[in-house]
Chains A and B, each alone.
Chain A
Amino acid sequence: GDSVTQTEGQVALSEEDFLTIHCNYSASGYPALFWYVQYPGEGPQFLFRASRDKEKGSSRGFEATYDKGTTSFHLRKASVQESDSAVYYCALGNMGYKLTFGTGTSLLVDP
């Protein structure tokens, strides 16, 4: 079945550091890939998506590029702020209306 792997459970950075959160997927066909962000006590917020190879999604300074060759959709931001502290989820949408989420990466940014 479909799966999403996020290798970093927690990431700790200082303000203005560069962020990378790795996301790799396994799926048949051509899935859509998503990034969501969740703040404590709230529902996940959609960040952006990509639906085809080499497509770049971006929002709020975050970006990721769909790479079918390496089955990856890594999240990057050039300069993080304390307000970016949250849990980030990579997700995959394939056949059958199902969205499969990764295990999430908790980002903590020190001021």
Chain B
Amino acid sequence: AQTIHQWPVAEIKAVGSPLSLGCTIKGKSSPNLYWYWQATGGTLQQLFYSITVGQVESVVQLNLSASRPKDDQFILSTEKLLLSHSGFYLCAWSLAGSNQDTQYFGPGTRLLVL
């Protein structure tokens, strides 16, 4: 069975500091991978998606970047955090080969920027 792991579980960071969030998928070969952001009490906003290693597409600009260094790993990062980056970051996966396939979400990372 596939498992999705996100790290860290939660972070408290200072404005202007760097950030790196990670996501690993086990049990699926070459999945499509996604990053979402959710403000407290808000809806989910897709940030990035990747259909293959080394390729990442940006959906919305939030002064964040993403990379896919391995088939099963997706990284979200920034060199300089803003207050507006606070929220809940979710990684998701779907089967390769379809752009309408169901997306399955990980447990999320809660980020507070002070």
Residues of A within 8 A of B (CB): 31-32, 34, 36, 41-46, 49, 51, 89, 93-104
Contact = CB atoms under 8 A, between A and B. Distances in A.
A93 B100 contact: yes
B24 interface: no
Given A43-B105, A46-B102, A99-B44, 5 more contacts: A34-B102, A44-B105, A46-B104, A93-B103, A98-B49
Q: Is the interface of B mostly helix, strand, loop or mixed?
A: strand
Contacts, number: 55
B66 interface: no
Interface string B21-53: 000000000001010000000111110010100
Contacts of A104: 42-43
Contacts of B103: 46, 93, 99
A45 B101 CA distance: 14
B110 to A, nearest CB: 8
B59 A98 contact: yes
Contacts of B51: 97
